[in-house]
Amino acid sequence: MKKILKTIFLCVSLPVFSLSAENLTQYVNPMIGTDGYGNVYPGAQIPFGGIQISPDTDAKFYDAAAGYKYNHTSILGFSLTHLSGTGIPDLGDFLFIPGTGEMKLDPGTRENPTEGYRSRYSHDREWASPNYYAVELSDYGVKAEMTAGLRSGMFRFTYPKSEQAFIMIDMNHTLWQSCEWSNLRMENDSTLTGYKLVKGWGPERHVYFTAVFSKKLKNLRFMQDKKPVIYNTSRFRSCYEAWRKNLMACISFEAAEGEEIIVKTAVSAVSTAGATLNLQELNGMTFDSLREKGVSLWEQELAKYQIEAEPEFVLIVDCFLKRLILFLHSTNHRHHLVPVRCMSVRSIPDLQLHTILLFCPEEILFVRVPLPVGWQ
């Protein structure tokens, strides 16, 4: 059943206005609300999607609860989980950092970005639309693009010619809260898995990921407290797996001019095995086909709303009408980001009892019930 949004203006009569249901995503601007105290993110997500791939300009800035602040001029990287519209920061898990040149293991500061791995950027070279975000990282010459599925998504990093190209993953990066424990593991020559225990809004939050790279992981190093993880019987049993706080994965390679690196990634609230299962959603998908599928889902969601204006009360200039349509569909887009799908694609119980929140958009009904993890 379509929802009717009626806009009434106390003016003189004009012909009735009705918005076509075709290509409604053109009226969505994900940047709306990213300045001030909106605390929303501009990144890639499908309706109620369980992964939210978006840029983070800050980690320890309280008024950037969703990670991104429009008036901040540098980007730390791109993480896989985000909150929308909250007053307290959290999430921002698994920060991916593409770049060239020296690999710096500290984030740096907004005042002096060159001290760390963050990069300056320009809004002129930044793009955001439903299920798509892209930006050019000025300090690295890398274009970063991202799009999402239900529990998984893809990065597409386009590099300049460089003998020192890299992708880093910062496991410690968390929005305002603290990562108390983490794990990184090289599964094969193209796959990484990892885990975080976060002390945040709740006393403990467990989150897992897997990532598959289109380029072989020939030069992969795990770093712990900025030191390489090496075989040591008192600390690490292998250089291909590490546990503890302050972990990073550092992948270096040579890049040809315009070379594209695709990273397929997924998250899970259950296990790395759950994240690997979730990644199967991307089988047979390319970056562009995944993006198009997400846009189609957004078209279906936005088409549930019909915008009409009462003919006997309408007198409005075109420019204001277009702003109104942009505002309404951008708001509808925000309203369909949450609640998110957090369960794995298949039931993988962890033998614990959990409380989940059920939300019915039609009824605005919230019910809390205890159910085993993995229930769909």
Q: Is the preceding omega at residue 228 within 30 degrees of 0, hence cis? A: no
Cα 352 to Cα 206, 209, 270, 333, 341, distances in angstroms? 13, 20, 11, 34, 19
> Which residue is listed with tokens 């203006």?
9
> Is 337:33 a contact under the CB 8 Å cutoff?
no
The CATH fold assigned to 24-348 is: Beta-galactosidase; Chain A, domain 5 (2.70.98)
Q: Which parts of the chain have pLDDT scores under 50?
A: 1, 4, 6-17, 313, 317, 351-376
Closest C-alpha to 206, from 85, 354, 306, 65: 354
Which are the contacts of 32, defined by CB distance < 8 A and separation ≥ 6? 38, 40, 327, 330, 334
Class of residue 221 by CB neighbours under 10 A (exposed 0-12, middle 13-18, buried 19+):
middle
Class of residue 317 by CB neighbours under 10 A (exposed 0-12, middle 13-18, buried 19+):
exposed
Q: For residue 319, what pLDDT is reported?
A: 61
Angle at 222 between CA 239 and CA 238, to 5 degrees: 15
- Take residue 2 and report the two structure tokens written for it: 């379509």
Buried b (16+ CB within 10 A) or exposed e, 319-344: eebeebbeebbbebbbebbbebbbbb
- Take residue 111 and report the two structure tokens written for it: 């005042």
Q: Give strand ranges (E) for 31-149.
A: 54-56, 74-75, 77-79, 95-100, 119-120, 126-129, 132-137, 142-148
Q: For residue 8, what pLDDT is reported?
A: 38
Return the number of other C-beta atoms located less than 10 Å from residue 6's C-beta: 10
Based on DSSP, count helices (H) and strands (E) in the chain, helices before strands. 3, 23
- Residue 156, SS3? strand
